[in-house]
Homo-oligomer: A and B are copies of this chain.
Amino acid sequence: MEDANLSVGYVAKRTGVKVSTLHFYEEKGLIFSWRNHGNQRRYKRDVLRRISIIKAAQRLGVSLEVIKQTFNELPNNKTPDKEDWKALSKRWQNQLEERIQSLIKLRDSLDGCIGCGCLSMQSCPIYNPEDALESEGPGPVILNRK
Contact = CB atoms under 8 A, between A and B. Distances in A.
B127 A137 contact: no
A134 B119 contact: no
A121 interface: yes
A105 to B, nearest CB: 11
| Total copies of the chain | 2
Contact of A100 (B93, B107, B137): B107
Interface string A108-135: 0011011101011100101101000110
A85 B119 contact: yes
Nearest to A15: B121
A33 interface: no
A104 interface: yes
A16 B56 contact: no
